[in-house]
Structure 1
Amino acid sequence: MTGGEPLIGIVGSGIAGLRAAKALLRCKVDARIVIFGDEVHRTYNRPGLTKRRYPLSDTPEMAIAEDLKVNGVEHKALTWRLDTRVESADLRNKVLGLSTGESFAYHALVIAAGVRPRTSVEGTNECTFHTHRTLRSLDDAQHIHNELQTSKKITIAGAGFVACELASLAKEYGCEVVMLEAMRNGPFENILGKRIAIALRRWITQNGVTFLTGDSAKELLCRRSDASNLEFSSNRSLFIEAIGSVPNVEWLQGNGLDLSDGVRVDEYMRVPECEDVFAAGDIARYPDPWTTESLTRMEFWKNAIDTGDLAGRSVASSLGHDSKTSRIGYFPSIATEVFGLRVQIAGNPKISDSMELVCGDLDQLDCGVLVKFLRAEVMVGVAYLDKGARFNSVYIELLKSLKAH
């Protein structure tokens, strides 16, 4: 490592990486900042990939890319190395190995490599019945939007946020939609529990989707086999797997890190085993502010923003700059929309041992339902489902109480 101007590497061109870079710029760190990204695109609004239907046009890819632009990517102090994969890391000697064959030596490193879609089988084998897709990147979304405009039928494996938003989107495009959830009873069960999951499943079926669970779903799951020598029909239906994600940690192997579920960091986003290494976003597993002596890893947009900001400030502090670096105090919140039903979740319902219906009826989600989640009789989470804002004032009061704990 040579002296002179510090060189800061950020692995990952998503919002966590960009926010880390912008935090460094706000701290007026006199350093070169290089952002590495697997994709050819600079940071974009990833949650927006499934939020809206695009009109038929000759260049839908350009329309989607323009719609999802994020401010701040054009800053002249940032060097972007796009379509460049970081394949290995020697954290002791502070050197990265790149897919171009180059080496990159750094003074400080931010790991914001994110996650990739989980798939039911290894490889990219197709089958004679389906065109298989996953959704993570802008390129994925461009392909899927194109196919939804011409597909008559789509099968979605999974019932999480991406799966539910895709189902809504596909119906807007006029597709026949089948959803498969082999492991649970309905959407968001791992967060909100069985009763709300079943209510959401009813809501989705009321909006024209065939929603199968258990053995019925397992029977329709596509187990791709090697079809390299088969001739594909031109009318194969679209099959999208939205069954979770896998942290991109393989390139960090061999450095003595805890990579059991992402990259373990402390409450300041520092990787404890390596000096001047930090992590942020979907890949970071940090001390949970909501539970005692446990770690959490969250894949929400707001989490990526908050942890990216903190990682950038922590890097600035490590380089001797006067940076306000408070420990992680993340307040979890996420919102989505499923067939016009807005679903808002705050706090950490996962750790609850009971739930209490505050307003509404689970059999009439469109009329508004407000639920609080308790652990040892203390509120730890809130969920609000509604087509309007009937109980918004009550929801805001619950949020104030939740934040006060």
Structure 2
Amino acid sequence: MTNAEPVVGIVGSGIAGLRAANALLACQVDAKIVLFGDEAHPTYNRPGLTKNRYPASGDLASLITRDLQIAGAENGAFTRRLGTSVKKADLRGKVLHLGTGETVAYDRLVIASGVRPRTLFEGGAECGSHVHRTLRSLDDARSIHRELQQRRDVTIAGAGFVACELASLAREYGCQIVMLESVRNGPFESILGSDIARALGRWVRQNGVEFLTGAAAADHLCNAANPISENTGAPKTSHAVPPSGRPLFIEAIGSVPNAEWLHGNRLDLSDGVRVDMLMRVAGYDGVFASGDIARYPDPWAVGSLTRKEFWKNAIDTGTLAGKSVASSLGHKAKPSGIRYFPSMATDIFGLRIQIAGNPRSADSMEIVNGDLGRLENGLLVSYLRDGSTVGAAYLDVGARFNRRYIELLTSLKKH
């Protein structure tokens, strides 16, 4: 394109897309920014979907929306097209094909389309045994919070961050909960290892949850083998009020990158969209990616690529993508590349879990303080590779080992 005012298209209205737009606006680049989002809602705090409990209210949907909304930059150069999906991209021709039937030409593109929940059961039919739910969007949260407030029995498939936070939330609402982890020994095993996972499994059980693993969990998974047909007289929605008598079954078993709209462009889409340290997509000048969908060189594991689905990662990579776009349009400031300090935190049943560094790369672990059998008294763990600390985890109801944890973080930051 040769317009005097270049067009920057951003596909994805989550925090990564918004941060890319804000970074561009902060650089005062003379460009028109258009952000496309499948959802009708402006950007909101996605982690809050599983963390916040709300009072029973007829206005629950509005209450959740107001509580989690995130203010974005208001600027005449920035246009949001919410509730507008992008069905296909022609990266050679620099054209987006929208769900409305329109086509939009662009000069620069930021891919921030994120991920969607992986599900046990695919298809248009409705399960005859359970009310199936996933939690990724604001509309999902409205539905699930309403159902949990009714103190429905709930089964949660999975034992990752979303699953554990949902179980903790459901317990606060007074629900009876069954958690199923058929593949691993307990929560966060892929990050923290089997010993910590088993200890966390015991913690979950101590807090009133029936937590099943292995074959016992697999026996309780719902594969919707006896589905009931859709009611063709009315459109089916995943957020409809569930019929009485069927228990609630929430699937939190991972995610799938939203990359189908990029097919046909000869990209490496084996796990999201591959980019370099500046969030640039190889082979296409002016195309960038950020957030959950971006797979980039891991500064903490040289020679490896990583794709992270954490809030801070979306913020950092979104900002970097925006700066890289600005640089490509002639802005003088040069982005420095991704240089993050990996850290994440959550709370489950009152236990604060903090993780830093790259525990996955460790070949051994060392308990610095605490006891695996008494997590409520605190547990501080160092993860080692070839004798050097590469990760740390701190689990505690209070903050009794906080100073020692900070010392571990200081040593990690020298990595």
Asked if Structure 1 and Structure 2 have the same fold, meaning a TM-score greater than 0.5 normalized by the shorter chain, the answer is yes
Deviation track 1:298-336 (CA, whole Å, cap 9, x = no partner) reads 000000001011100100000111123001111111100
Query: In the alignment, which residue of structure 1 is the partner of 2:223?
Result: 223
The two structures, once aligned, show a CA RMSD in angstroms of 1.2
Q: What letter corresponds to residue 301 of structure 2 in structure 1?
A: T
Paired with 1:78 and 1:164, the residues of 2 have a C-alpha distance of 37
Tell me if the contact between 2:126 and 2:230 (Cα under 8 Å) persists in the aligned partners.
Answer: no
Deviation track 1:354-393 (CA, whole Å, cap 9, x = no partner) reads 1110111111111111101111111111100001111111
Query: In the alignment, which residue of structure 2 is the partner of 1:234?
Result: 244
Tell me if the contact between 1:256 and 1:273 (Cα under 8 Å) persists in the aligned partners.
Answer: no
Deviation track 1:6-43 (CA, whole Å, cap 9, x = no partner) reads 10000000000001111111111111101000000111
Structure 1, gaps ≥5 residues long: none
Go from structure 1 to structure 2 and tell me whether the alpha carbon gap of 1:130 and 1:300 turns closer, same or farther (over 3 Å shift): same
Query: In the alignment, which residue of structure 2 is the partner of 1:353?
Result: 363
Query: In the alignment, which residue of structure 2 is the partner of 1:254?
Result: 264
Tell me if the contact between 2:128 and 2:224 (Cα under 8 Å) persists in the aligned partners.
Answer: no
Paired with 2:55 and 2:283, the residues of 1 have a C-alpha distance of 50
Tell me if the contact between 1:177 and 1:209 (Cα under 8 Å) persists in the aligned partners.
Answer: yes
Decide which moves more: 73-82 or 203-212: 73-82
CA shift at 1:131, angstroms?
0.6
Deviation track 1:150-194 (CA, whole Å, cap 9, x = no partner) reads 143000000000000000000111100000000000000000000
SS at the partner of 1:17?
Answer: helix
Tell me if the contact between 1:163 and 1:242 (Cα under 8 Å) persists in the aligned partners.
Answer: yes
Go from structure 1 to structure 2 and tell me whether the alpha carbon gap of 1:229 and 1:94 turns closer, same or farther (over 3 Å shift): closer
Deviation track 1:189-242 (CA, whole Å, cap 9, x = no partner) reads 000000000000000000000000011001110011431079x95221100000
Query: In the alignment, which residue of structure 2 is the partner of 1:283?
Result: 293
CA shift at 1:103, angstroms?
0.3
Query: In the alignment, which residue of structure 2 is the partner of 1:160?
Result: 160
Q: TM-score, normalised by structure 2?
A: 0.95
- Confirm whether residue 138 of structure 1 aligns to residue 138 of structure 2: yes
Aligned 1:6-405 pairs, distance under 5 A? 6-225=6-225, 226-228=227-229, 234-405=244-415
CA shift at 1:73, angstroms?
5.0
Deviation track 1:230-287 (CA, whole Å, cap 9, x = no partner) reads 9x95221100000000000111011111000000000100001111000000000000
SS at the partner of 1:285?
Answer: strand
Paired with 1:299 and 1:87, the residues of 2 have a C-alpha distance of 23
CA shift at 1:130, angstroms?
1.0
Tell me if the contact between 2:296 and 2:306 (Cα under 8 Å) persists in the aligned partners.
Answer: yes
Structure 2, gaps ≥5 residues long: 232-241
Q: What letter corresponds to residue 350 of structure 2 in structure 1?
A: G
SS at the partner of 2:390?
Answer: strand
SS at the partner of 2:170?
Answer: helix
CA shift at 1:57, angstroms?
0.7
SS at the partner of 1:212?
Answer: strand
Go from structure 1 to structure 2 and tell me whether the alpha carbon gap of 1:151 and 1:228 turns closer, same or farther (over 3 Å shift): farther
Aligned pairs, number: 404
Tell me if the contact between 1:349 and 1:381 (Cα under 8 Å) persists in the aligned partners.
Answer: yes
CA shift at 1:351, angstroms?
0.9
CA shift at 1:120, angstroms?
1.2
Paired with 2:67 and 2:111, the residues of 1 have a C-alpha distance of 27
Tell me if the contact between 1:382 and 1:399 (Cα under 8 Å) persists in the aligned partners.
Answer: yes
Tell me if the contact between 1:151 and 1:238 (Cα under 8 Å) persists in the aligned partners.
Answer: no
SS at the partner of 1:46?
Answer: coil
Paired with 2:170 and 2:111, the residues of 1 have a C-alpha distance of 34
Paired with 2:214 and 2:109, the residues of 1 have a C-alpha distance of 44
Decide which moves more: 63-72 or 198-207: 63-72
Go from structure 1 to structure 2 and tell me whether the alpha carbon gap of 1:41 and 1:74 turns closer, same or farther (over 3 Å shift): farther
Tell me if the contact between 1:11 and 1:110 (Cα under 8 Å) persists in the aligned partners.
Answer: yes
Query: In the alignment, which residue of structure 1 is the partner of 2:238?
Result: none
Paired with 1:229 and 1:122, the residues of 2 have a C-alpha distance of 13
Paired with 2:171 and 2:183, the residues of 1 have a C-alpha distance of 24
Tell me if the contact between 1:125 and 1:224 (Cα under 8 Å) persists in the aligned partners.
Answer: no
Report sequence identity in percent.
Answer: 67
Paired with 1:26 and 1:355, the residues of 2 have a C-alpha distance of 43
Deviation track 1:89-125 (CA, whole Å, cap 9, x = no partner) reads 0000100000000001000000000000000122243
